[in-house]
Chain A
Amino acid sequence: MASVRRQPRRLESAVSICLLVLLLLIGLVIFMKQFDVDMSRFGIDTTPLNLPVQQIEAEIQEPVLEALTPDGFKKFSEVETYNTGNLYEKINGKAPLYIEAGFAKLFTQRFIHESDENLWMELFVFDMTAIRNAFSVYSVQKRADTRTLSFAGPGPCYRTSNGVHFVHGKYYVELIGSTESTVMDEAMIRIAEKFASQTAVDDEKITEFALFPEEDIIQDSFKLYLANAFGFEGFTDIFACRYNISDESITAFLSKYPDTQNAQTTAEKYCNFLIENDAVAKVANNAVLKNGNVKVLDFYGTTEIIFSTGPFVAGIHEAENQTAAEELAARLLAKLSKTAKIE
C-alpha cells in the first residue's frame, strides 16, 4: 500500500497561522517591554501614584501661550509641554510636589524684551485638573514677603518683586522674571490678565474657606494640604489659615470627612500621633473646650488643640499662647458645630 503525504486541512492551516501570529505578537510585546525599565529591582516603589483626580492627557487642551506675548516683548522659546512622566526634567526635585497634588500637564514659554536682552520671563501654566489641587500648590509655595495684586482673574493671586503667581480654575500659573523691573512687572500683569480672560475654566469654588470664623483672620493666609498635613499621614485635605489674636499669630485648621465616625476616628488618630511624638495632654482653661471631645496638648512648649464635630476635624496647630489658642478653638468649634447641625 503506497503512502501519500497528507495535505494539511484548511482548518489546520488557519490554526497554525493563528498560532504563529500569536507567537509573533508575544515576541513583539516582549521586545517592547524591554524598553520599560523596571526600577523595582532597585527596591524603588514604582507603583503609580493614586492621584486625587485622574484625567486623560489627550483631553487636556493646551492653553495658547504665544498669544499672551505682551507689547514690547517677543517669544524667547517655543512652548514646552511636560507631563507626569517628564516633569522632573523641568523642575527636578519639585516635581513630586505637583504630581502628588494631581498634576496633569505643564506648559511653559519664555518671553524677552524686544530691546533689552536682560529682561526675560518664563510663564509656567500647571494644569492641576481641579481648583483644589491648583490652590494647594499655590498656597503651600506662597511666599511670605508678597505684594498685593489685583487683576481681572477671579482666583487667589500675589506678586513678588520678580514674579506673579495665581490660580485660575484648575490652573496654577507662575510668571518668573529674570530680574526686578517695573517694565517686567507691568508685562507680567498684562499676561496674567490676558490668560485669565482668555482661558475658560469650570466655575468651581472652594467652599471650606467660609467655614473658618471671620473675626481676626489674616486675609489670604489660607493653605490647603492635600496629604500628610503636619507630618501626619492620615491628615488629608486639611485647610489651614492664620489669625492674629492678641498680637499672636495662630494657625487654625479644619477638614471635612465623609461622616461623623470617620472624623472622630481621624481626630483620635492625630491625637495619638502627637502623643507618640512626646505631646502631653493638658487641661483646657476655656469652659467651652472642657468636653471629652476636645483634646488640648502641650507639644514641645506649643499648644495643639484637636476636636471633631459632625463630619469636621479641626483644631489649632503649634500655638505659642494657650489662652489665645483656646479662644480661637472655641470660635471654630462653635461655627463648625452650627454648620454640622445645618448640614
Chain B
Amino acid sequence: MTEQTDNNLDRRQLLARAGKAGISIAAAGLISYRLYDKQGPGAGVNTESLVTLPDFRVPHKHGQTMSVVKGPDRKVTVNKALELLDGIERFVKPDETVVIKPNVAFASSPMLGATAHPELVAEVVRLCYKAGAEQVIVTDNPINDPSSCFTLSGIGKAADQAGARVVLPKEHLFRHTTLDGGKLIKNWPVFFGPFENVDKLIGISPVKHHARAGASMAMKNWYGLLGGRRNVFHQDINTIIAELAMMVKPTLVILDGTEVMMTNGPTGGSVSDLKRTNTLVVSTDMVSADSCGCTLLGLKVSDLPYLTKAEKAGAGATDYESLKPVFGTV
C-alpha cells in the first residue's frame, strides 16, 4: 500500500529540501544585496568614478579683482575692462586651452537679451587667441535642442568665425560629481567633457531678471553645466546657485549689463523687457560681479539670498566695493 502524504519524509529528503530552501533564501539575499543601491536614485555611480571640476583661478592681485566699464559697445567695453585688470595676458597664457561658457540657454534671437551676446563671445575668443591660446572652446548645455540654441542665438556662428571650437552636449560628455559639503549636488551628472585637459575657464552671461531666482547673472550661468532633471533644483534655487558658485572656480566671469532684461526673465521675449544700462563687469570673483550686477536690475544683495549663501560658503564677497573695483568709461 502506498500513502500519498509528506508526513513520512526520510532524513535524506528532509535535509535535501531544507538545503534547497536555504540556498534559495541565500541566493535571493545575495542578489538583493548586490542590487541594493546605498546611494539611492540619481546616483548609480560609485564614488571612485566621481569627477571634480578643476580650479581654473589665477593668483589674486590686490585691487585688480574686478573692473566695471560703462559704454554702449560690448567689444570696446570688454577690451577696456580686461585692460583695467592687467590685460587678457594675465588670465590666458600662450599654448593654453580655454573654455568659454556663455549663457546659451534658449533658441532666442540675440536682440532679446536672453542669451550671451554673440559679438561679446566672439571678441573674447579673439582676445584669448591674441594672448596665445592654443585652442578656445565655446560650450554650453541648453536642454532643449542645443543646436537650435547655438544657431538662433548667433553664438555658434560668431564663435566659429572667431576660430573657436563649438562643443554641443552629448551624453558621453557627462560625468557624475559630488560637491564637498553640498546639499544638492550629490552624485549628479555634470557637463564635464569640455573641461577635461583645459587650462582656463571664462563665463559670459547677460544680466537678467529671473522669475524664480530674482536674477540670472554670472553664478546662475553655471546652471547650464548640470545634467539630469535639473529643473527639480528650481525648488531650492538659492541653494543650487550657491552650490554652483562653490563647484565652479572660473578664471574670470564677464557680466554683460549693456542691455539688461528687467522683466519677464529668464526668457524675456520682447525688447520692451530690456533696458540699456551700458555696463560691463569683468571679475575674478563672481559673487562680487553678481552683487554689482544686481544693482542694474534695481536689486540689493539682500534681495538675492543666493549671494549671501555663496559668500558664507567662501565663494566670494558680496561687498564688491571693498575689492576696490576699477571703473572706466569708453
Contact = CB atoms under 8 A, between A and B. Distances in A.
A77 B112 CA distance: 20
20 contacts: A1-B1, A2-B2, A34-B37, A37-B42, A37-B228, A42-B184, A43-B183, A44-B184, A46-B232, A88-B143, A88-B231, A92-B106, A93-B210, A93-B212, A94-B264, A120-B152, A143-B273, A144-B272, A145-B272, A177-B109
Contacts of A207: none
B271 A160 contact: yes
A43 B40 CA distance: 14
Interface in B63-113: 105-109, 111-112
B197 interface: no
A160 B109 contact: no
A90 B144 contact: yes
Nearest to B114: A92
B267 interface: yes
Contacts of B263: 141, 143
A93 B270 contact: no
Interface in A154-205: 160-163, 174, 176-180
Nearest to B212: A93
Given A4-B2, A43-B183, A92 B111 contact: no
B265 A93 contact: yes
Nearest to B6: A6
A266 B37 CA distance: 48
Interface stretch (B19-27, B46-54, B233-241): B233-241
Contacts of A39: 42, 229, 232
B298 interface: no
Interface in A86-105: 88-97
A179 B2 contact: no
B41 A77 contact: no
B270 A163 contact: yes
A34 to B, nearest CB: 7
Nearest to B213: A93
A148 interface: no
Interface residues of B, number: 51
Interface in B254-278: 263-267, 269-273
A341 interface: no
Interface of B: 1-6, 8-10, 37, 40-42, 105-109, 111-112, 143-144, 148, 152, 183-184, 186, 210-213, 216, 228-229, 231-237, 263-267, 269-273
A160 B231 CA distance: 30
Tell me whether chain B's interface is mostly helix, strand or loop, or mixed: loop
A92 B111 CA distance: 19
A23 B107 CA distance: 48
Contacts of A162: 111-112, 270-271
Nearest to B40: A41
B270 A3 contact: no
Contacts of B10: 3
Contacts of A160: 270-272
Given A4-B4, A39-B232, A178-B109, 17 more contacts: A37-B232, A41-B41, A42-B236, A43-B236, A44-B233, A45-B235, A88-B231, A91-B106, A92-B105, A92-B106, A93-B213, A94-B266, A120-B109, A143-B270, A160-B272, A161-B272, A179-B111
B4 A92 contact: no
Contact of B148 (A77, A92, A145, A178): A77
A95 B229 CA distance: 14
A96 B266 CA distance: 12
Interface residues of A, number: 45
B272 A93 contact: no
A215 interface: no
Contact of A97 (B41, B211, B273): B211
Contacts of B212: 93-94, 96
Contacts of A122: 107
Given A1-B1, A6-B6, A77-B148, A91 B267 contact: yes
A43 B270 CA distance: 36
A38 interface: yes
Contact of A38 (B40, B111, B269): B40
Contacts of A36: 41
A93 to B, nearest CB: 4
A162 B109 CA distance: 11
B167 to A, nearest CB: 20
B142 to A, nearest CB: 9
Contacts of A163: 269-270
Contacts of A90: 144
A93 B184 contact: no
B234 A95 contact: yes
A30 B306 CA distance: 38
A161 B40 contact: no
A55 interface: no
B272 A143 contact: yes
A38 B111 CA distance: 39
B310 to A, nearest CB: 18
A113 to B, nearest CB: 13
Contacts of B229: 37, 39
Nearest to A180: B271
